Amino acid sequence: MSPLPELNLNLGMTNNPGSPFYGGKGEEGVVVRTDSGLKKHTITLIISDQEAGSISLKLGEKEIEVPTYKLTVTDDKTEETEAYQVTRDTLSFVKSKTKKSFLSFFGFKRFDKTSFLYDTIAFEPQVENIEKFDISRHRKLTHELLTYELERDGQKVMLYAGDINEFAKPEHINQYFVVVDKDGGKSFIGDILYREKFLKLTPKVELHLIKRKKVPKNFEYDDKGNIKKVMYI
């Protein structure tokens, strides 16, 4: 049975003899006033421009290092705040190049250095330093997976929370954010479900995206998937 909707009730007192709530003999009675509608709360996800670390993400057959940024979750009722990490860069392989050592001439190829170049498509606020999206309607939840989708000017973007080893970009998605926590997305998913249950009415979910001061254009990786160089727009 779903929880009852939350009424926004206010208590007041009256000593007006003409009021049906008047208690008589100068006593005040309790008046209950209700708002015109039910109060609906908002869960807010804030993706900052502050780097928080990195994760190893499998793209195709190769695992590469991807920077992460601070992700904050809060709501306007409990005002409780939790922090996670999230990726902001959608990477695609461009080419590899090999720098040969002088020993390569003698057939010793193991000293050659191969690097891999990836392009990144950045999804950033267009005008202001922060852009807000209502992502309430396009939500998918399974036992160990939670996704939200949004669209802007034909760009389809997904926020993914789950096992990063199982992540694969759907064909209809152009760009993505991958949530990172200590146990494969379960902490983030549990946090969202807790807030939804506590807020009773299905809450509005907003994504706030803060513009980065330096936006990556390309990443260069070594043969182990570690970042060698970042080129910015």
3-class secondary structure, 20 = coil
Per-residue confidence (pLDDT) for residue 96, from 0 to 100 = 84
- Range scoring the smallest mean pLDDT among 18-22, 101-105, 129-133: 18-22
- At residue 110 the predicted structure's pLDDT band, cuts being 50, 70 and 90, is low
Q: Which helix (H) or strand (E) holds 191?
A: helix 186-199
Judge contact between 66 and 89, C-beta under 8 A: yes
User: What span, in angstroms and rounded, lies between the C-alpha atoms of 111 and 100?
Assistant: 7
Q: Let me know how long the chain is.
A: 233
The separation between CA 154 and the C-alpha centre of its own chain, rounded to angstroms, equals 20
Pair of tokens at residue 217: 């254009």
Distance from the first to the final alpha carbon of the chain: 52
Paired tokens of 132: 């807000």
d(CA 185, CA 57): 14
List, for residues 41-92, the tens digit of each pLDDT value: 999 999 999 999 999 999 888 899 999 999 999 999 999 999 999 999 999 9
**Overall pTM surpassing 0.95 (yes/no):** no
Evaluate if residue 8 carries a pLDDT over 90: no
The tens digit of pLDDT for each residue in 115-171 reads 999 999 889 999 899 999 999 889 999 878 999 999 999 899 999 999 998 898 999
